[in-house]
């Protein structure tokens, strides 16, 4: 064995850690700029040169610095995601779908929670997104005029997940109105005429858009069935399990209990079911309950619901943002509306005739 060929233990690690782009250029016999263009995937490099550079980089175990690459390109390779409740099922599923697409394209995800007024004010007053992200996904978030202006001034692609399109018009969502009407049609076909809705607060800035759209669908479903659309059919409480519990308790104080309830979300439906079961009312014997979302716990609760593709909305929104970033606007459908579907389980059935 020749002494010049012998390498001490750990030498490969030492070379990999200490090598830089100059070493790759020297070994390949090309300029530093040619190495840079080759490793960025530029087409302006001949096949022979590309092969020589890549071989030299592999021989030296050279890995380009992500920070340097980002600095050279002017890109952060980061997408900001604005959510209201990152731990809640819908938001978590959207984030999961988006993160998979971004990771596959070597993009990071930077999360901003705006579920409370202080966090929201901080985001739009200090705008920490500036110069830190290449694009923004906003998940089920309504924006005021001033907030929309602030996001537009970032000068990066904005994609909305939910019913409200962004300033650019790019967005992915579902038809909340038609989906809510579908829930009412299911109850009507079972024979229900005394139907109530458990809804979020219509003046709550957090979920106002979704609440108003699903209320409109509830009303449309009643009208289509020839049923009176009375204001007292809707009971409003803050969104969530506790809101659903309180709303059902309010319905129980009425002289006549409705035979069916449409809950704006599965989590509100869970609260309603808990109240009904604690007072010993059979579901669906005394009251049928249908939710909206197909939450991961809906099968465990045997909850009939309107299923929406939350994960798919996140995946498509991230892909849309990347297409806008790379200039593939011809490939971008500016507004994607995904289908929902009725999932019939054990919480809905015909009304009992002896009630």
Q: Domain residue spans in the chain?
A: 3-72, 77-174+310-337, 176-309
pLDDT(67) > 70: no
pLDDT(25) > 50: yes
Pairwise CA distance, residues 148 & 166, whole Å: 8
- Bridge partners of 272, per DSSP, are none
Q: What is the model's pLDDT at position 5? A: 39
End-to-end CA distance of the chain: 96
Domain over 77-174+310-337 is classified CATH 3.90.1150.10: no
Pairwise CA distance, residues 94 & 79, whole Å: 14
Pairwise CA distance, residues 316 & 173, whole Å: 10
Domains 77-174+310-337 and 176-309 share a fold: yes
The stretch 234-239 carries a mean pLDDT of: 95
Peptide bond into 284 cis (omega under 30): yes
Decide if 225 contacts 184 (C-beta within 8 A): yes
- 168 token code pair: 């650019």
Q: What is the model's pLDDT at position 155? A: 85
Q: Which of 230, 213, 211 is nearest to 222 (CA)?
A: 230
Greatest C-alpha distance within the chain: 98
Upper half-sphere CA count for residue 109 (Cβ side, 13 Å): 26
Class of the CATH domain delimited by 176-309: alpha beta
Q: Which of 128, 126, 122 is nearest to 81 (CA)?
A: 128
The stretch 253-269 carries a mean pLDDT of: 97
- Residue in this structure with the two tokens 């409003």, named with its chain if needed: 236
Q: What is the model's pLDDT at position 7? A: 36
Pairwise CA distance, residues 342 & 103, whole Å: 32
Instruction: Name the DSSP class of 261.
Output: E
Assigned CATH for 3-72: 1.10.260.40
Phi then psi for 195, rounded to 5 degrees? -115, 135
pLDDT(207) > 70: yes
Task: Report which secondary-structure segment, H or E, holds 82.
Answer: strand 78-83
Pairwise CA distance, residues 47 & 164, whole Å: 47
Decide if 77 contacts 134 (C-beta within 8 A): yes
pLDDT(37) > 50: yes
Q: What is the model's pLDDT at position 310? A: 96
> Mean of the per-residue pLDDT values for the chain?
85
Instruction: Name the DSSP class of 202.
Output: T
Residue with the bigger pLDDT between 19 and 29: it is 29
- Bridge partners of 304, per DSSP, are 290
């Amino acid at each position: 064995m020749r002494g010049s060929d012998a390498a001490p233990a750990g030498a490969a690690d030492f070379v990999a850690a200490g090598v830089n782009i100059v070493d790759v250029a020297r070994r390949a016999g090309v300029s530093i700029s040619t190495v840079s263009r080759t490793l960025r995937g530029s087409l302006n490099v001949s096949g022979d040169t590309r092969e020589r550079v890549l071989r030299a980089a592999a021989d030296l175990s050279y890995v380009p610095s992500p920070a340097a690459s980002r600095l050279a390109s002017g890109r952060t390779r980061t997408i900001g995601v604005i959510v209201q409740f990152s731990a809640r099922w819908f938001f978590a599923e959207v984030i999961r779908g988006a993160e998979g697409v971004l990771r596959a394209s070597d993009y990071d995800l930077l999360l901003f929670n705006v579920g409370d007024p202080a966090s929201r004010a901080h985001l739009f007053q200090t705008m920490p997104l500036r110069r830190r992200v290449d694009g923004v996904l906003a998940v089920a978030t309504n924006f005021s005029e001033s907030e929309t202006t602030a996001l537009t001034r970032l000068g990066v692609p904005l994609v909305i997940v939910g019913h409200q399109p962004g300033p650019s018009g790019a967005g992915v969502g579902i038809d909340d109105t038609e989906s809510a009407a579908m829930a009412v049609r299911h109850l009507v076909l079972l024979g229900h005429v005394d139907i109530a809705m458990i809804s979020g607060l219509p003046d709550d800035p957090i979920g106002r858009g979704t609440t108003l759209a699903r209320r409109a669908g509830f009303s449309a479903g009643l009208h289509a069935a020839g049923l009176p659309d009375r204001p007292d059919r809707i009971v409003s409480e803050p969104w969530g399990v506790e809101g659903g519990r309180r709303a059902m308790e309010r319905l129980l104080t009425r002289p006549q209990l409705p035979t069916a309830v449409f809950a704006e979300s599965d989590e509100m439906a869970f609260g309603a079911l808990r109240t009904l079961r604690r007072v010993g009312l059979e579901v669906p014997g005394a009251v049928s309950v249908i939710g909206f979302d197909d939450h991961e716990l809906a099968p465990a609760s045997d909850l009939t619901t309107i299923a929406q593709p939350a994960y798919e909305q996140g995946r498509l929104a991230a892909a849309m943002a990347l297409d806008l970033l790379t200039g593939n606007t011809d490939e971008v459908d500016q507004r994607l509306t995904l289908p929902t579907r009725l999932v019939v389980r054990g919480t809905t059935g015909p009304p009992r005739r002896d009630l």
